[in-house]
Structure 1
Amino acid sequence: MLGKMGDEILGRPLEDVVKEIRDIATDTQRIEVKSSVGKDILPTLSAFSNSGGGILIIGLSEREGFTVAKGFDASAAQNALVSRCNQMTPRVHPEIRIEPFEGSSVIVASVPEISAHEKPCYVTERGRYGGSFRRSGEGDQKLLQYEVDRLLEEQRPPRWDEDPVEEAELADLDSHVLNAFLESQRAIRPRTFADGQETALTRLKVLKDGKPTLAALLAMGEYPQEFFPRLTATFALFPGTSKGDIGTGSRMLDSKSFAGPTHEIVENVVSAVRVNMREGGFIGEVYREELPDYPLVAVREAIVNALMHRDYSPQARGTQVQVNMFVDRLEIMSPGGLYGGVTLESLGTAGQSSTRNERLATFLESPALPGGALAENRGTGIQVIQTALERALMPPAEMYNDLTQFTIIFRKRRVAPTERYATAYDKVKAQLESQESASTTELMEKTKLSRTSIQRAINRLIEDGIAEPTEPPRSPRQRYRAR
């Protein structure tokens, strides 16, 4: 069997592993085969060290069908590999063994992933930005400068959210929200205000060098997008299961971009999801229980997390949070991967919390925000999401992470046979029955349905004898009422 890391990754004898490599005729995400220890092994040492670790099998010739390379000297190759490992920063320390194989010997080296605060591992002579790699599929891919910078943030906490926005002034913050925030802080941190409010604004990181910080604008600004047009969230409704599917002549059924301070963006995105998803239900003993496609508690928490924990470095300020709804799922994507010691495996577990934007998180925790605190920032967000999905009898959220993006996916709730969805027909009927009369525009505002959907529903309601117009056909003052 292979060594410790090999057992974890492969869990099979060397012969079985090589057989699979021969069958697929290529390397894999976690296995790299080399005929010798040349300089081309350096990017692989970097890639494995930066992205999950991996296994090097040295002494097999890919050109000859992954058979033992002619003239291969395992002992010399072992020494050469140690030398190559010393050409890396930080030095790579694999577990190296000489293994008998098909009448000869090969090198099997288990390369461990290094800790987050040591990354990136790079080829020393190429430098950090020229010699850092990650594993992608069966190959090594050079890290972009942006990706290297994100890795370096693990060594020192980023403070991008505390950057002063030079073009902005204190007047660009919502005075009502700011005053409420200051009052709440004065009550719990009176010493912060001992030297006056101007000093307190700086101590609280509302201002830096006399200018509003990015975090203050995002949490309390009148319109942060005046200075950062792309720090928004987009919502798109697609007719199929991929962005390439085309419905009735349109690639997207709905598309919106939401701006404003963070709390407004959150509420508007949640509203867009609510309007565009179907809502089923069943009749209980006393009343009808609503069962939406996606629990809004989970949706809201995911959107808050996306906006609060996204990357706000200068390179990422041109990228927005994306919320995409397909017929089978809801995807929420935010710029920048997981930060700190948090991994996909540890997300949602007790004691695992790391905040990329500490100042923004502090502001969003304030009960002074319109509607109250937007976030708790105690590492409970994923727990809230998974609990809400579990209560709705839905599968857990799926999460994907790399250096440039974090994605969370909710699979659409399956409909029970006893359920039925609240259609446009149902919604318009309910509105007409609850009021004296309504125009098409009013019905659009109330139900959040399109004009076309409203008109189709009205036509059917009239045909069924449930509704009637109040004015002659084509009247500009046309309204409708229940019969």
Structure 2
Amino acid sequence: METEKKEYKKSLSEIKEAMISIVSVLNKHGKGELIFGLDHSGRVHKQDINEKTLRDISQAIANNIEPKIYPKIEKQGSIVRIGFSGRETPYFAYGRAYIRVSDEDRQMSAKELENFILNKNKDKLRWDNQACEDAVLEDIDEETVNKFKNYVKQSQRLPFLNEDKYELLNKLGLIIQKKLTNAAVLLFGKDTQKYFYNSTIRCASFKNELKEEFIDMKDIQGNLFECLEKTILFIKTHIKLSAKIQGLYRKEKWEIPIEALREAVINALIHRNYFDQSFTYIKIYDDSIVISNPGELDKSLKIEDLFKEHESKQRNPLLAKIFYFCGFIDSWGRGINN
């Protein structure tokens, strides 16, 4: 029976279709099997098979499939069984890319092919796990590392804390090939803006939405932990705090819950596109706060998905992981209603 990984061809007259099927299966599953001499129901159709037949199949694969694959081709009675595998996707037959959908072979559109390649290389295209070439261990701030350890002790989300600075960063995945990653410098750097000036957070408080008059304006710098705390402090300075007396006690309440603001700022910092040289902006108006950062919404999500539970899509998994260990975020995409 044919499946997504197994294809039958009645005879060698379908050699071109066979090449397309092989490519389709490789692009979907990375391996599969094609059999000449069976119809779609699995019934045998007898044909003459000799050494030349096997050579012709081998040459058809070599001449028409790119990148090259090296299949196992066997004669078994009146059928030819071809086992194939490959990891260098996308594969092309006759210059076109195909993908397996159920037991059919469908040509990829230009957009599908683009997304296929981007998805395959997403780890290579990440910013956070790239080496920060000029950074050295002395660029890491010991005080921030110790703060991180204290956060983790409270969250109890990480078992190892006694390692020295290098070993800790290494175990956290923040060192690659003995070099500090971009994430390491952004999170724990002494002078982060020396390497990533775009990690500056531009904060401003305005009298109205026309932005004609500033009440206050500040560029916040430091590593990610420092920027987070300084940004929350700036926001607190420019939003209202009400208070009422209940019995003997004074009960205070921010006009916008600080925990909600903190979560929004964290999301802006860890999910932004750091390849983009733009800044993260915090704009405070009389009746609203706008938090904006560079970066598009993940292609698998729509705006309406953000208002309900959804799969968490992380542009910078290393940044998200460290903040998760600190207890600043959870690992669930619970939606912004939270």
CA distance in 1, matches of 2:336, 2:117: 25
Q: Where in structure 1 are there 5+ consecutive unaligned residues?
A: 1-88, 92-116, 123-127, 129-148, 246-250, 368-372, 385-483
3-state SS, counterpart of residue 255 of structure 1: strand
CA distance in 1, matches of 2:110, 2:217: 39
Q: Equivalent residue for 1:266?
A: 228
Structure 1 residue 299 corresponds to structure 2 residue 261: yes
Shift of 1:326: 1.4
Q: Residue 139 of structure 2: which of 144, 152, 172 is its match?
A: 172
Q: Cα–Cα, structure 1 residues 90 and 303, in superposed 2: closer, same or farther, change >3 Å?
A: farther
Q: Equivalent residue for 1:382?
A: 336
Q: What do the CA deviations read for 1:4-40 (whole angstroms, capped 9, x no partner)?
A: xxxxxxxxxxxxxxxxxxxxxxxxxxxxxxxxxxxxx
Shift of 1:255: 0.6
Q: Equivalent residue for 1:349?
A: 308
Overall identity of the aligned pairs, in %: 27
Contact 1:219-1:364 within 8 A present in 2 as well? no
CA distance in 1, matches of 2:147, 2:249: 40
- After superposition, residues 387-406 of structure 1 pair within 5 angstroms as none
- Count of residues paired in the alignment: 227
3-state SS, counterpart of residue 267 of structure 2: helix
3-state SS, counterpart of residue 268 of structure 1: helix
Cα RMSD after superposing both structures = 3.7
Shift of 1:227: 0.9
Q: Equivalent residue for 1:43?
A: none
CA distance in 1, matches of 2:148, 2:288: 37
CA distance in 1, matches of 2:262, 2:308: 20
Q: Equivalent residue for 1:160?
A: 127
Q: Equivalent residue for 2:321?
A: 362
Structure 1 residue 188 corresponds to structure 2 residue 147: no
Q: Equivalent residue for 1:253?
A: 215
Structure 1 residue 232 corresponds to structure 2 residue 200: yes
Letter of the 1:366 counterpart: F
Letter of the 1:341 counterpart: S
Shift of 1:289: 3.5
3-state SS, counterpart of residue 162 of structure 1: coil
CA distance in 2, matches of 1:156, 1:234: 32
* TM-score normalised over the length of structure 1: 0.41
Contact 1:234-1:258 within 8 A present in 2 as well? yes
Letter of the 2:194 counterpart: E
Q: Cα–Cα, structure 1 residues 283 and 153, in superposed 2: closer, same or farther, change >3 Å?
A: farther
Contact 1:323-1:330 within 8 A present in 2 as well? yes
CA distance in 1, matches of 2:110, 2:254: 43
* TM-score normalised over the length of structure 2: 0.57
Letter of the 1:162 counterpart: N
Contact 1:278-1:292 within 8 A present in 2 as well? yes
Tell which has more relative contact order, 1 or 2 (C-alpha 8 A, sep 6+).
2
Letter of the 1:338 counterpart: L
Letter of the 1:331 counterpart: V
Q: What do the CA deviations read for 1:153-187 (whole angstroms, capped 9, x no partner)?
A: 55643421011111110111123444676897997
Q: Equivalent residue for 1:280?
A: 242
Q: Cα–Cα, structure 1 residues 285 and 181, in superposed 2: closer, same or farther, change >3 Å?
A: closer
Shift of 1:215: 0.8
CA distance in 2, matches of 1:197, 1:235: 32
